[in-house]
């Protein structure tokens, strides 16, 4: 069982490079960027992994204050497991103290679902992480909905959010970042009851 003093590794999943920055598939990066801003840190290249990291603390002073490593793997999405496992080993983070923030096709746009463990539901980033280190990590699933009409899933996730979706995106990314803070401070059940929609 993990100790209260163990660090947390918060991983935003996405693809590196400006051409992917606003894609639906990169919502994990967006949440990680906001969390970095909240703790007053800037992402820098990790020494031991193909990733960018920010170290800091989340939560009010006292027992709920948690040491965190925010990470954005700089491999492509389908290779996320390598960098995440390298960071886990370097920072000595228990697997149940890892949180993956990712886009989720089977949830309506903007809805959140928090869970521990489970399958990858066809998500290449999760598939890679689970192959590298097992499935006993937390997930914050950010709903992006299904592609319209006959659009292929791969095309849909690699498109930017629509103009209608972008009107709410800032609020929804903010809410996802809040859910991470709640998970760390109050545990999974409290975070689920507050944020699972």
- Residues catalogued as catalytic: 25
Structural contact between residues 64 and 185, judged by C-beta atoms closer than 8 angstroms = yes
Count of H-run helices and E-run strands, the chain: 6, 7
In sign, the C-alpha dihedral spanning 18, 22, 24, 26 is positive
Give the tokens for residue 44. Answer: 């820098």
CA dist., res. 3 & res. 150, Å (int): 48
Give the tokens for residue 30. Answer: 């967006």
Q: What is the DSSP string of 13-64?
A: ----SGGGTTBGGGHHHHHHHHHHHHTT---EE-SSSSEEEEEEEESSSSTT
Selection from 171, 36, 179 nearest residue 101 by Cα: 179
Structural contact between residues 114 and 66, judged by C-beta atoms closer than 8 angstroms = no
Selection from 158, 153, 134 nearest residue 76 by Cα: 158
């Amino acid at each position: 069982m993990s100790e209260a003093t163990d660090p947390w590794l918060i991983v935003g999943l996405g693809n590196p490079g400006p051409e992917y920055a606003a894609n639906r598939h990169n919502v994990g990066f967006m949440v990680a960027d906001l969390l970095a801003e909240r703790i007053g840190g800037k992402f820098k290249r990790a020494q031991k992994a193909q990733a960018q990291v920010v170290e800091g603390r989340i939560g009010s002073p006292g027992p709920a204050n948690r040491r965190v490593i925010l990470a954005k793997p700089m491999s492509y999405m389908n290779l996320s497991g390598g960098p995440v496992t390298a960071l886990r080993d370097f920072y000595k983070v228990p697997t149940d103290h890892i949180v993956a923030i990712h886009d989720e096709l089977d949830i309506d746009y903007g809805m959140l679902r928090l869970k521990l463990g489970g399958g990858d539901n066809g998500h290449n980033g999760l598939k890679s992480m689970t192959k590298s280190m097992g499935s006993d990590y937390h997930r914050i699933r950010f709903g992006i909905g299904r592609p319209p009409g006959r659009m292929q899933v791969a095309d849909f996730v690699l498109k930017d959010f629509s103009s209608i979706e972008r009107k709410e995106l800032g609020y929804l990314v903010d809410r996802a970042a809040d859910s991470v803070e709640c998970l760390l401070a109050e545990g999974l059940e409290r975070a689920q009851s507050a944020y699972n929609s």
